[in-house]
């Protein structure tokens, strides 16, 4: 069997979805972990985002992490392109629909809405990147701050500025909710897709997936909310 | 259970042939016994249509005891009707009460084109089986059934997978019209047993390739298939199929 046959088969395409999905999940763990350092402010009011700024600086400063960043972009693009291709193929497999649908009697609504949830995440990502990534990596238009003689971007102040507007909070909450539901199905689905077929582990992964989705989307959602209401910063 | 009779409104999909566009037709059926099967209720309606000089409703059926997988009807939005782990032929009219309206549609999937009314062409399933759903057996005397010891768990799982009757309800229920539950049952059934060993890799690769050629969608693990399967085929088989396919696809030259 040729590689091309493997990766163009329905199971091969899903394998790519599963792998890239799991890779994106591992990225989320790091992303939410680093951003959660803004809550150091709750413990020490003089902190003023120092821990967060240093962590964000570190994430842009080593070659290894910049290479991983390229991998992350490739992974996201692959996931999105493959996702839309699968969604289109799956929709085209039934030209005449039903008068009465099975609906929620057979599956969870969010498991059937992965394309829609992914699209909301994608739109959110574009806004999110314009808010932070473009300013930090492309235009370098962030104010500087110096710790122990090292100058770096004051990402923390930028967050406070961005999260001072109501519509931004609404967009971020929508993004977090969509991500939560995307992962509530995607987390366990990805393991099945890459071949985990032991019921003991599959049921564990379902629950782990719910826990992960709730925890990650809640933590992410708390960041703009906490800054908007001035609990942090 | 107490016997009763009921009058029902049926909305049934009528379609002359595979080319023509179909439409719903409404019928009133009277004095239906709660002890009839769903298909017997259709027999009663068809006899009445014949008496009136009208074309009877075409529907598939064979065994009428839940083992052949022919009786494909999408009843009020659910393949094989409201009962869990049940076929249309084994659905009884006691599931309904007087005055109910029942919508009956054929399986909807481009890989299952409508032949007439509620009859669909499921020969795509036959071609998937032909692509690898078999084992090699040496000629000569039949080997003693107990000659090869098989782990109990594997024997049980293979047996459970072998219960698939190829009815197509999984495809009908799936938002992607995916045949993965069916295929995974067929692949698991043989992959779990030593007799399935010689063709193990080629089987899964060829059967998936045929499934893709037939125009079924890809699986997104929603679980609708498992929920409607009359034989309770487990969705875990799909994950096993993925492992079989990936394992074979990454090594076969
Ligand atoms: C950080 C962002 C994202 C993460 C962590 C993520 C994660 C996942 C995971 C784990 C799966 C399950 C894969 C499988 O079942 O094999 C999945 C599926 C999918 N994702 Fe994403 N995803 C993200 C963003 C997106 C975006 C931006 C889109 C845009 C279209 C998208 C579209 C899809 C689609 C269509 C599926 C297929 C549904 C399925 O197979 O069940 N995802 N995603
Ligand atoms: S897996 Fe179940 S629903 Fe699908 S064809 Fe087999 S018996 Fe029918
Ligand atoms: S007619 Fe054979 S299973 Fe229903």
Question: What's the rounded Cα separation, in Å, for the pair A52 and A58?
Answer: 10
Q: Which pLDDT belongs to residue A66? A: 87
User: Where does the pLDDT of residue B203 fall: very low under 50, low under 70, confident under 90, or very high at 90 and above?
Assistant: very high
Mode of pairing for the β-strands spanning B23-33 and B114-116: unpaired
Q: How much of chain B, in percent, has pLDDT values that exceed 70?
A: 100
Q: Coil, strand, or helix at residue B112?
A: coil
Interface residue of B131, B191, B246, B247 to substitute, partner A, most A CBs within 10 Å:
B246
Q: Flag if B242 and A199 touch (Cβ within 8 Å).
A: no
Mode of pairing for the β-strands spanning B101-105 and B5-14: parallel
Closest CA to B233 of B175, B176, B128, B158: B158
Of the listed ranges A38-52, A81-95, B119-133, the least confidently predicted one is A38-52
Chain A residue numbers with beta carbons less than 8 Å from the beta carbon of B205 are: 1
Determine contact, residues A59/A34, Cβ cutoff 8 Å: yes
- Joined together, the tokens standing for residue B227 give 């929920």
Entry pTM? 0.94
Residue owning the nearest CA to atom 3 of ligand 3: B66
Chain B residue numbers with beta carbons less than 8 Å from the beta carbon of A102 are: 77-79, 173, 224, 228
Answer yes or no: is pLDDT of B151 > 90.
yes
Alpha helix segments (H runs only) across A36-145: 40-43, 50-61, 63-92, 109-112, 114-128
Q: Flag if B246 and A15 touch (Cβ within 8 Å).
A: yes
pLDDT digits (tens, 9 = 90+) for B25-50: 999 999 999 999 999 999 999 999 99
The domains found in chain B, sorted by start residue, are 5-105 (3.10.20.30), 123-249 (1.10.1060.10)
Considering only residues 15 to 34 of chain B, which have any Cβ-Cβ distance to chain A shorter than 8 Å?
Answer: 24
Opening angle at CA B172, ends B171 and B174, nearest 5: 65
Determine contact, residues B222/B175, Cβ cutoff 8 Å: yes
pLDDT digits (tens, 9 = 90+) for B99-118: 999 999 999 999 999 999 99
Answer yes or no: is pLDDT of A103 > 90.
yes
Span from the CA of B236 to the centroid of ligand 2 (angstroms): 14
With the most atoms of ligand 3 within 8 angstroms of its CB, the residue from B60, B70, B122 to mutate is: B70
pLDDT digits (tens, 9 = 90+) for A59-86: 888 889 889 999 999 999 999 999 999 9
Q: Give the mean pLDDT of chain A.
A: 95
pLDDT digits (tens, 9 = 90+) for A122-134: 999 999 999 999 9
Nearest to A94 among B24, B76, B110 (CB): B110
Q: Does B233 touch chain A (CB under 8 A)?
A: no
Answer yes or no: is pLDDT of A212 > 80.
yes
Of the listed ranges A49-53, A134-138, B37-41, B204-208, the least confidently predicted one is A134-138
Interface residue of A197, A199, A200, A206 to substitute, partner B, most B CBs within 10 Å:
A197
Give me the residue label for tokens 């992960």: A212
Number of CB pairs < 8 Å for A and B?
A: 149
Determine contact, residues A102/B77, Cβ cutoff 8 Å: yes
The domains found in chain A, sorted by start residue, are 3-90+106-228 (1.20.1300.10)
Q: How far is CA B23 from the centre of its chain?
A: 23
Alpha helix segments (H runs only) across chain B: 38-51, 123-130, 152-162, 169-173, 180-191, 200-213, 224-228, 236-249
Q: Flag if B243 and A195 touch (Cβ within 8 Å).
A: yes
Answer yes or no: is pLDDT of B74 > 80.
yes
Interface residue of B217, B238, B240 to substitute, partner A, most A CBs within 10 Å:
B217
User: Where does the pLDDT of residue A47 fall: very low under 50, low under 70, confident under 90, or very high at 90 and above?
Assistant: confident
Q: Which pairs from B54-61 meet CB under 8 Å and 24+ separation?
A: B57/B12, B57/B14, B57/B117, B57/B118, B58/B115, B58/B116, B58/B117, B58/B118, B58/B119, B59/B117, B59/B118, B59/B119, B60/B118, B60/B119, B60/B120, B61/B88, B61/B89
> Which ligand has the shortest distance to the CA of B168?
2
Q: Which pLDDT belongs to residue A46? A: 85
- Joined together, the tokens standing for residue A226 give 């906490």
């Amino acid at each position: 069997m040729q590689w091309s046959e493997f990766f163009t088969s329905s199971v091969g395409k899903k394998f790519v979805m599963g792998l890239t999905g799991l890779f994106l999940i591992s990225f989320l763990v790091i992303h939410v972990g680093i951003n959660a350092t803004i809550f150091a402010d709750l413990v020490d009011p003089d902190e003023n985002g120092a821990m967060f700024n240093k962590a964000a600086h570190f994430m842009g400063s080593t070659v290894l992490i910049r290479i991983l960043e390229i991998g992350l972009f490739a992974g996201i693009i692959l996931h999105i392109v493959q996702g839309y291709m699968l969604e289109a193929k799956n929709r085209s497999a039934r030209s005449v629909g039903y008068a009465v649908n099975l609906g929620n009697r057979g599956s969870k609504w969010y498991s059937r809405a992965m394309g829609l949830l992914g699209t909301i995440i994608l739109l959110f990502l574009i806004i999110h990147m314009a808010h932070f990534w473009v300013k930090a990596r492309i235009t370098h238009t962030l104010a500087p701050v110096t710790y122990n003689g090292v100058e770096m971007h004051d990402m923390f102040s930028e967050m406070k500025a961005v999260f001072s507007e109501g519509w931004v909070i609404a967009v971020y909450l929508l993004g977090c909710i969509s991500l939560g539901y995307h992962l509530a199905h995607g987390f366990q689905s990805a393991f099945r897709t890459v071949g985990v077929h032991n019921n003991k582990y599959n049921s564990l992964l379902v629950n782990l997936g719910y826990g992960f989705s709730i925890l990650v989307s809640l933590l992410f959602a708390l960041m703009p909310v906490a800054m908007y209401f001035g609990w942090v910063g | 259970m107490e016997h009763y009779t009921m009058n029902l409104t049926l909305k049934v999909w009528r379609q002359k042939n595979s080319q023509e566009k179909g439409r719903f037709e409404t019928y009133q059926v009277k004095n239906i016994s709660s002890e009839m099967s769903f298909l017997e209720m259709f027999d009663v309606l068809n006899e009445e249509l014949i008496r009136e000089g009208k074309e009877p409703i075409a529907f598939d059926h064979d065994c009428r005891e839940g083992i052949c997988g022919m009786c494909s009807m999408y009843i009020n939005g659910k393949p094989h009707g409201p009962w869990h782990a049940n076929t249309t032929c084994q659905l009884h009219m006691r599931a309904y009460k007087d005055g109910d309206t029942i919508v009956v549609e054929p399986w909807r999937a481009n890989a299952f084109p409508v032949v007439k009314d509620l009859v669909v062409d499921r020969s795509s399933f036959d071609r998937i089986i032909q692509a690898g759903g078999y084992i090699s057996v040496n000629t000569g005397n039949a080997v003693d059934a107990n000659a090869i010891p098989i782990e109990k768990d594997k024997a049980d799982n293979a047996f459970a997978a072998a219960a698939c009757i190829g009815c197509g309800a999984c495809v009908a229920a799936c938002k992607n019209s995916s045949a993965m539950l069916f295929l995974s049952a067929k692949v698991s059934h043989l992959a779990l047993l030593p007799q399935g060993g010689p063709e193990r890799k080629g089987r899964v690769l060829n059967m998936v390739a045929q499934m893709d050629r037939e125009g079924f969608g890809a699986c997104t693990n929603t679980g609708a298939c498992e929920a409607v399967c009359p034989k309770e085929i487990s969705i875990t088989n799909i994950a096993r199929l993925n492992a079989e396919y990936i394992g074979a696809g990454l090594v076969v030259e």
